Chain A
Amino acid sequence: MKEINPRGKLQPKTVKRIQLLFFAAALATSSLIVRLGYLQITEAQQFQSDVAVQNFSSLPIPGSRGWIFDREGDVLAADVPVYQILYIRYPNDSYSAPKVARELAPVLGMKAKTLENMMLNQNQMQPTVTLVNQATPREMAFIAEHRDNLPGVLMMTVPQRVYPLGELGAHEIGFIGPIPASEWNQYQAQGYPKDALVGLSGLEQSYQSVLRGQYGEEKIPVSPAGIPLNQGIVSVPAKAGNNLVLNLDGPLQKVAEQALVQRINFLRGVGETNVHSGTIVVLNVHTGAVLAMASYPTYNPEWWIGGISNQHYQQYLTNNAGFNRAISGLYMPGSTEKMLTAMAALIHHEMTPNLQVLDRGGLQIGTYFMHNWNLGGFGWVGLKEAIEVSDDTYFYQVGLNMGHFNTNNPPSNISAWLTGGRVQALNQINDLGKKFGLTSLTGVDLPGEMPGYVTYANPPTLYDLPAAAIGQEEAYSTIGLATYIAAIANGGYRYQPQLVHEVTTSQGKVVKIYKPHLVDKVPVPENYLKIIQQSLELATHGTLGTATYYFGNDKVNVAGKTGTAESGNPGRNNSVFVGYAPYNHPEIAVAAVIPNVTGEGFRAAAPMAQQVIDAYFAKPDHPLTNPSSKFTTKNMKKHG
């Protein structure tokens, strides 16, 4: 038996102290239970809603952009769904990326290190990173099968822009791309996310607010490991943007573009190596509807999808292919100016419709002799003949008349005239030009239109007024020229050129129709306009008409005027044609320009205008070709 410890028991002090220790421990433990009760019973609801919020991964889903149709309903721009492969970054998950990268890299044809770097470092401020923009079926199948091993990897359907007809109408349709840094603030104010794609050119730009889709949201319940939980996905559906139905006539646009390219290639083929660009605009004379608008060189809007390649970008920059020359390019109008000169002189009573001028091949102004293009001269000519043969001498005289300059008895104070009568005459041309949309903006619904202008030469000269009278001192846009000739054709009504006919919802419901917008009625009396119209008909059908060579035997009776202007390069001229058809009941107006040709206008612009006019009237449903179809419902609807 073991010896009993003499003390045997603890001191009372020790027992008390141990009790004290336990008391403190029990107090601390009880406080835990109180706190636990507070969190789990009083505050439970708050925390449960915290869980609800954070266990959803929210992804913005871009809404598809509105489509663009031509007047026949052919698709010019559309959004098609593509599958993107995304990677979601979670704040407390830095370890799954290398694993996922190793698993996924071979399928995507990438190096694991490159992919991992992309997953972790690309767009670091964004919660997700796009790994693949257009997933192939193989990639999609792989991800679907291995989703458990690919935490954070997600497939998402996103709309992508396509332009089914490629280059057709490229300048009018425009293209989309990331928001330029300089415009970010203003897009942000409209609720665009940083990575949104917006219209950067053409209708895509000018109708951005109509076309834009509304972002939806996909709330995916996931664990941080990327594994979706049992609850369902909460989707706020994205809303598609509205569609545009254009006045543009796809087939006619195609003819115009091809005619332009063929003409340019032809000219280059015969040695005109400076020719590299041109424009054609076709308007409905009664509505201002833009039926075709071609500008060369051009590009393919699809180049921008998913970021433009360097090669395409170089191609885009070459010859300024993105520049819509039809609205932004300004060209000297040459003889197509003469109708405006005549009208300005007539309405200001500086000439009568019966004015006769003796053309001996030119006009002596002070020390300058200004040549007619026909150095032999046409003898006595009246207004109609002057336009028919494009007599320069006649219009030199008209110009001088407007400035009250008598060549036989020049004003004694020449410098006073230069700032007085001369400027007054130029103003008259300029002001009437504004009414016709030549020296003002036509208001076409495209971005980047440039207004034409009249040059007030500085220092002023004796001869710049007569030069202005034959279109050597002005620069107009092709759309301005088209608006001008359309107003001459329709009796003086200037309509705003309009590409978009109507806006429809994604279901096809019409929400807005752009009715023809009459900008003004030009202040030219009807009888004067009639004379101009008759003159234009003579220019295309008269025995000496400058365009009779092309239009003399035409079926539809085109009225029009050629123009040639010295473009500034010696021996290089702008070739211009403006016209409309049919002469009696005009339907379409055409303006065409090819700069930097060496010959007279008919060699360049007129033939391609003719091709477009022929194509328009050759359409199977056109009443001139097929009278029975005149009142088909289709026509009534399309032409409003």
Chain B
Amino acid sequence: MESIIKRNIKDLDYPLIMVMILISIYSVIAIYTATYGKIDPNIPSHIIVRQMVWEVLSYIAMFAMMFMDYHTLSKYRWWIFGISIFLLVAVFAFSRVNGAHSWIHLPGGGSIQPSEFAKLTFIIWTADYMAKMNEKEFPDYTLKGLLPIFIAFIVPFMLILKEPALGQALVLLVIMFAMLLVYVKRRHMQILIAIAAVVVITFGSAVAVYPNQTIKMLEHQHIMPHYQTMRLISFIDPTFSPTGSGYQVLEAEIAVGSGSVFGEGLLKGSQTNGSWVPFQWTDFIFSAIAEQLGFVGSSVLIMLFLVMLYRMVKVAMTSLDDFGAYLIAGSVGMFAFQIFENIGMNLVISPATGITLPFISYGGSSLIVNFLSIGIVLSVSLRRRTLRFD
């Protein structure tokens, strides 16, 4: 074990680590400036200290994960998956925060968000299932063989939806989609893409052409809770309720737009530093970056994310085995969707769903989980070479 690390340390994906450090710097600056001098009681006290502590813990977790052989995950996959399901159930024993049972409150004031962990544990379990299937003498790529994946998906999916945390549930769906895309046989992949296209197009056009009817139906059939349909309405028409559900979106858009090319400067954003954007330190953190650092600063962040995804994919493609590749594919899907969805809602090209911006938004659970995912990628990168000629 020791020796492998020593021998392969050169193979470690250093650019990925560099990118992660740069992204973390963005995060600390964004949270600091988005909460500086504000008196909003929703802001956790000493938010910037908390965030930095979480950053440190996350890096420790990442490196620990890196040094640990990722195959160990395969060994404990049932334990990991089981604990995560237990936590998703346990969540309902705790009081709601912002209207949802999403947190488990720990003694001492902290809290954890099991849905964050569920995403990663689902990736681990599914990657292992897929890899094991590939190694079988007669792999079963039929629908029957896919059934356990669907079951492993549907249980946490329904629990998360029940919290309610529609955004997190959607992330889980996208993770499964991304992993299946890499795993299934050609025919199934075509069907998969076709289904996704049909769902997106049908829903999109229904909302665009018959917004009110669609939204009423969604609410009536209990597919979406009221607050979520309001968000959807406000996405279609932010002026529908400019001081209610549309307020956050409108203010965030103004913040982004007024940032212009070079931004208004740190702590000089009239929207951000005038606290016009509620909950800017979590879901709408990107608007703070965009206003203060402008197009230049915020597109650099998007480019950093793109580089991160590229490095991840690169590691996946040179992975020693399928298990590593599938693990990374799941994470790539998770990150790509969250980045697109979160920044998209700041830019009003996707509806607000309560998805945080990975590595940037305030929040301990998501930081830990996201960095653990990167830790897995690094662990794979450390173990990808099969032969060395010293």
Interface residues of A (CB under 8 A from B): 2, 4-5, 7-8, 10-11, 13-15, 17-22, 24-26, 28-29, 31-33, 35-37, 39-41, 43-44, 46-48, 50-51, 54-55, 91-92, 95-96, 99, 151, 222-225, 229
Query: Given B247, B261, B276, B278, which contacts A40 in the complex, CB threshold below 8 Å?
Result: B261
Once the chains bind, are B317 and A40 in contact (CB under 8 Å)? no
Question: Given that A40-B290, A95-B40, A225-B275 are contacting pairs, would A33 and B309 also be in contact in the complex, using a CB cutoff of 8 Å?
Answer: no
Once the chains bind, are A32 and B343 in contact (CB under 8 Å)? yes
- Give every chain A residue within 8 A of B111 (Cβ-Cβ): none
Query: Given A2, A25, A33, A47, which contacts B257 in the complex, CB threshold below 8 Å?
Result: A47
- Give every chain B residue within 8 A of A39 (Cβ-Cβ): 253, 256-257, 290, 347
Interface residue B76 (Cβ < 8 Å from any Cβ of A): no
CA distance A51 to B269 in the complex (A): 10
Interface residue B156 (Cβ < 8 Å from any Cβ of A): no
CA distance A32 to B178 in the complex (A): 20
CA distance A54 to B274 in the complex (A): 11
Contact with A along B324-350 (1 / 0, CB 8 A): 010011001100100110011001010
Once the chains bind, are A225 and B38 in contact (CB under 8 Å)? yes
Q: In angstroms, how far is the closest chain A Cβ from the Cβ of B291?
A: 9
Q: Which of A8, A17, A25 has the most CB of B within 10 A?
A: A25
Interface residue B320 (Cβ < 8 Å from any Cβ of A): yes
Q: Which residues, 232 to 273 on B, are CB-close (under 8 Å) to A? A: 243, 247, 253-254, 256-261, 270-271, 273
- Give every chain B residue within 8 A of A229 (Cβ-Cβ): 270, 274
Q: Can you name 9 A-B pairs with beta carbons within 8 Å?
A: A18-B316, A21-B182, A24-B336, A29-B336, A31-B349, A41-B295, A51-B271, A223-B276, A225-B275
Q: Which residues, 297 to 327 on B, are CB-close (under 8 Å) to A? A: 298-299, 302-303, 305-306, 309-310, 313, 316-317, 319-322, 325
Query: Given A4, A40, A95, A96, which contacts B260 in the complex, CB threshold below 8 Å?
Result: A40
Once the chains bind, are B340 and A29 in contact (CB under 8 Å)? yes
Q: In angstroms, how far is the closest chain B Cβ from the Cβ of A233?
A: 16
Question: Given that A21-B313, A37-B295 are contacting pairs, would A51 and B325 also be in contact in the complex, using a CB cutoff of 8 Å?
Answer: no
Once the chains bind, are A224 and B276 in contact (CB under 8 Å)? yes
Q: In angstroms, how far is the closest chain B Cβ from the Cβ of A487?
A: 66
Once the chains bind, are A96 and B276 in contact (CB under 8 Å)? no
Query: Given A25, A33, A44, A222, which contacts B336 in the complex, CB threshold below 8 Å?
Result: A25
CA distance A50 to B274 in the complex (A): 14
Once the chains bind, are B309 and A18 in contact (CB under 8 Å)? no
CA distance A31 to B306 in the complex (A): 12
Once the chains bind, are B317 and A10 in contact (CB under 8 Å)? yes
Query: Given A7, A26, A91, which contacts B306 in the complex, CB threshold below 8 Å?
Result: A26
Question: Given that A10-B317, A21-B329, A40-B295 are contacting pairs, would A33 and B302 also be in contact in the complex, using a CB cutoff of 8 Å?
Answer: yes
CA distance A54 to B277 in the complex (A): 12
Interface residue B39 (Cβ < 8 Å from any Cβ of A): yes
- Give every chain A residue within 8 A of B183 (Cβ-Cβ): 14, 17
- Give every chain B residue within 8 A of A48 (Cβ-Cβ): 257-258, 260
- Chain B contact-residue range equals 35 or more
Once the chains bind, are A26 and B309 in contact (CB under 8 Å)? yes
Q: In angstroms, how far is the closest chain A Cβ from the Cβ of B337?
A: 8
Once the chains bind, are B317 and A51 in contact (CB under 8 Å)? no
- Give every chain A residue within 8 A of B317 (Cβ-Cβ): 10, 15, 18-19
Q: Which of B4, B333, B343 has the most CB of A within 10 A?
A: B343
Once the chains bind, are A95 and B302 in contact (CB under 8 Å)? no
CA distance A172 to B347 in the complex (A): 64
Interface residue B142 (Cβ < 8 Å from any Cβ of A): no
Interface of B, secondary structure class, is helix
Q: In angstroms, how far is the closest chain B Cβ from the Cβ of A496?
A: 55
- Give every chain A residue within 8 A of B306 (Cβ-Cβ): 25-26, 29
Query: Given B4, B256, B328, which contacts A36 in the complex, CB threshold below 8 Å?
Result: B256
Q: In angstroms, how far is the closest chain B Cβ from the Cβ of A127?
A: 12
A48 to B, closest residue via Cβ:
B258
B340 to A, closest residue via Cβ:
A28
Query: Given A11, A37, A55, A91, which contacts B243 in the complex, CB threshold below 8 Å?
Result: A91
- Give every chain B residue within 8 A of A91 (Cβ-Cβ): 243, 247
CA distance A26 to B310 in the complex (A): 9
Question: Given that A15-B317, A19-B317, A51-B254 are contacting pairs, would A36 and B347 also be in contact in the complex, using a CB cutoff of 8 Å?
Answer: yes
- Give every chain B residue within 8 A of A151 (Cβ-Cβ): 39
Once the chains bind, are A43 and B257 in contact (CB under 8 Å)? yes
- Give every chain A residue within 8 A of B298 (Cβ-Cβ): 36, 40
Once the chains bind, are A35 and B349 in contact (CB under 8 Å)? yes
- Give every chain A residue within 8 A of B259 (Cβ-Cβ): 40, 44
Interface residue B191 (Cβ < 8 Å from any Cβ of A): no
A52 to B, closest residue via Cβ:
B270
A223 to B, closest residue via Cβ:
B274
Once the chains bind, are A21 and B332 in contact (CB under 8 Å)? yes
CA distance A33 to B301 in the complex (A): 10
Interface pairs A-B: 9 shortest CB-CB: A47-B257, A25-B336, A223-B274, A44-B260, A40-B295, A17-B182, A28-B340, A22-B313, A47-B258
CA distance A4 to B313 in the complex (A): 23
Once the chains bind, are B325 and A36 in contact (CB under 8 Å)? no
Once the chains bind, are A22 and B309 in contact (CB under 8 Å)? yes
Interface residue B386 (Cβ < 8 Å from any Cβ of A): yes
Question: Given that A29-B340, A32-B343, A40-B290 are contacting pairs, would A4 and B387 also be in contact in the complex, using a CB cutoff of 8 Å?
Answer: yes
Question: Given that A4-B386, A25-B336, A28-B340 are contacting pairs, would A223 and B273 also be in contact in the complex, using a CB cutoff of 8 Å?
Answer: yes
Q: Which residues, 144 to 198 on B, are CB-close (under 8 Å) to A? A: 178, 181-183, 186, 189
Q: In angstroms, how far is the closest chain B Cβ from the Cβ of A146?
A: 14
Once the chains bind, are B254 and A14 in contact (CB under 8 Å)? no
- Give every chain A residue within 8 A of B273 (Cβ-Cβ): 223
Once the chains bind, are A55 and B270 in contact (CB under 8 Å)? yes
Once the chains bind, are B310 and A22 in contact (CB under 8 Å)? yes
Interface residue B41 (Cβ < 8 Å from any Cβ of A): yes
B305 to A, closest residue via Cβ:
A29
- Give every chain B residue within 8 A of A44 (Cβ-Cβ): 257-261
Query: Given B276, B294, B349, B386, which contacts A8 in the complex, CB threshold below 8 Å?
Result: B386
Once the chains bind, are A51 and B258 in contact (CB under 8 Å)? yes
Q: In angstroms, how far is the closest chain A Cβ from the Cβ of B375?
A: 19
CA distance A51 to B325 in the complex (A): 47
Q: Which residues, 3 to 26 on B, are CB-close (under 8 Å) to A? A: 4
